[in-house]
Amino acid sequence: MPNWLRIAAARPLSLHHMAQIMAGSPW
């Protein structure tokens, strides 16, 4: 599991940021 994913899981507020990362990532 990627570190940024763990951080997002630990920080509910980071879910929006995670969505932006996934939207901007090729995978």
The answer to whether the CB of 7 falls within 8 A of the CB of 16 is no
CA distance 25 to 8: 16
Domain definitions of the chain by residue range: 1-27
At 1-27, the pLDDT tens digits run 577 777 766 766 566 777 777 787 665
Residues with Cβ within 8 Å of 21's Cβ and at least 6 positions away in sequence, in order, are: 4
CA distance 5 to 23: 14
pTM to 2 decimals? 0.32
Report pLDDT for 20: 78
- Burial (CB < 10 A; 0-12, 13-18, 19+), residue 27, is exposed
